[in-house]
Amino acid sequence: MAYTTTETLNTFQRAKKAMPLGVTSNFRYSGETTLVIKRGQGAYVWDMDDNQYIDYRLAYGPVILGHADPRVTKRITEQLAHGNLYAHTHPLEIELAERIIQMHPSVEKVRYANSGTEATMHALRIARAYTGREKIIKFEGAYHGNHDYALWSTANMPHNSGGSPRSPLPVAQSSGMPSANRELLSILRYNDFEMAERVFRDRGHEIAAILIEPLMGNASCLMPQPGYLAHLRKLCDQYGVVMIFDEVKTGFRIAPGGAAEYFGVKADLSTFAKSLGNGFPIAVIGGKAEIMDIIAMAQVTQGGTYCGSAVGTAAGMAVTDAILNDNALSIVNARGERLMAGLGEILTEQGISHAISGTPAVFGLMFEPKTEHIREFRDVMNTNFQMYVDMAYALRERGVDIEPDPREPFFLSSAHTEADIDETLNRFNDAVKAIKKTR
Ligand code: PMP
């Protein structure tokens, strides 16, 4: 049956009249072919024309157990009968906090928020309050949310806009961001050991925090070189800089104890969101008790009306139950391993040079890299983006939804079955052949 999206595209036209770009997050916009999805179940989503897609976007990562997971739905529904917010601490907040502390090597105390953006924003304030310093280090190509402190030099920066590789410039992602914030930033290039050392030596005593995605989930899942995170850890200790692992993408996904467990390096503060809620709004700022306890009345503020909602924490309990008792992450990993290997085999067979980076639970795919070793964001930018976009649309027509932005990764869920992976690989094979014909 031919792939048609008439109803979906008509609905998108309606959306554009009510919402700028017809979306409520710029990242969801993919031009006139932006999909409108009416439902999801397990590893699939359906558009307005009832086209079914095997979903590797998973709402940008949160849906670790699959859409409408019955365990999550049950837990939340039970809670909903008793309300959601009370202006008081709720037992589920405590239970989930205790569980996260037990699961995650870096976390001794937690506070809740509702999105990754809020979590990194609060983590920066806590780090600044703790150190009495204002400046922060972030990495070129990393995304830490939509607030004005971190929306600089993200993966969306235009080609060749970042200045010299020796002294990268902070590049604003959006108009409307106060330019004064630029002064608060030092931009590093990922996996450059020497550069980190130089910047710490020159400015370490002014720096409150280094904000890092332990693997660059927003830049094709670049992995840290062996010893790189430990190198940064050592520099942070030496200069009294708070090390913040932004685990919004890696937390409760790449291992039960996130990147800290996976890479064996502990952060001072960590931020979580996405997978912890399977799509329901919950986020966490967690870390060393000594640092978290800087939060104090009339001294250091963290909070918000919706923080630690009963529904969000119920979702967190259901997800962590599935990780601890149902082997959810082993399933995610097994599926991801097969998919990663299968994609690589097909591309090799078809003679297309490529690189695959990341972990089975979340990984990036790059076409025709220009460097042998892809180590940092500039190497990612030097791959064939157009080919990736063509691939994403060729897959979409074949009922597989991957993010058309080449820097975004594939996400796996425990709802993906072996058969889904087989089917994806078949369709990928077809898509590669179709693309080769047009080149
Ligand atoms: N940090 C990282 C590493 C992320 O990937 C994201 C979202 N893609 C965020 C922070 C922001 O999270 P949210 O969209 O929930 O605000």
pLDDT of 151 over the 80 cut: yes
Active site residue 112: no
Beta-sheet strands, E only, within 382-423: 400-401, 410-411
Q: Which residues pair with 136 in a beta bridge?
A: 185, 209
Q: At 104, which amino acid appears?
A: H
Q: Exposed, middle or buried by CB within 10 Å (0-12, 13-18, 19+), for 158?
A: exposed
Average pLDDT over residues 18-35: 96
DSSP H or E segment with residue 50: none
- For residue 2, what pLDDT is reported? 81
pLDDT of 120 over the 90 cut: yes
- For residue 137, what pLDDT is reported? 98
What digits encode the pLDDT tens for the residues 37-73? 999 999 999 999 999 999 999 999 999 999 999 999 9
Q: pTM of this prediction?
A: 0.98
What digits encode the pLDDT tens for the residues 316-333? 999 999 999 999 999 999
272 and 252 in contact (C-beta within 8 Å)? yes
Instruction: Look at the block and give the residue holding tokens 């309300």.
Output: 83
The protein residue whose alpha carbon is closest to atom 7 in ligand 1 is 145
Q: Which of 47, 55, 246, 390 is catalytic?
A: 246
pLDDT of 1 over the 70 cut: no
Beta-sheet strands, E only, within 108-241: 109-113, 135-139, 185-188, 207-212
CB atoms within 10 A of CB 169: 15
* Ligand 1 atom showing the smallest separation from residue 145 Cα: 11
The protein residue whose alpha carbon is closest to atom 5 in ligand 1 is 249
Q: Which of 274, 288, 388, 420 is catalytic?
A: 274
What are the start-end ranges of the H helices in 83-216? 91-103, 116-131, 193-203
With a Cβ cut-off of 6 Å, ligand 1 is lined by 60, 115-117, 120, 143-145, 213, 217-218, 246, 248-249, 273
- For residue 439, what pLDDT is reported? 81
* Mean per-residue pLDDT of the chain: 97
Active site residue 148: no
Residue to mutate, 24, 27, 114, 117, ligand 1, most ligand atoms under 8 Å from C-beta: 117
Domains of the chain are 6-64+327-437 (3.90.1150.10), 70-325 (3.40.640.10)
What digits encode the pLDDT tens for the residues 179-196? 999 999 999 999 999 999
What digits encode the pLDDT tens for the residues 379-425? 999 999 999 999 999 999 999 999 999 999 999 999 999 999 999 99
The protein residue whose alpha carbon is closest to atom 10 in ligand 1 is 144
Active site residue 274: yes
Average pLDDT over residues 118-129: 98
Q: Which of 53, 143, 149, 262 is catalytic?
A: 143
How sure is the predictor about 250, in pLDDT bands with cuts at 50, 70 and 90?
very high
195 and 233 in contact (C-beta within 8 Å)? no
Give dist(CA 11, CA 36) in Å, integer: 7
Residue 360, SS3 per DSSP? coil
232 and 242 in contact (C-beta within 8 Å)? no
351 C-alpha to ligand 1 centroid (Å): 35
144 C-alpha to ligand 1 centroid (Å): 5
- For residue 362, what pLDDT is reported? 98
Tokens of 119: 């979590």
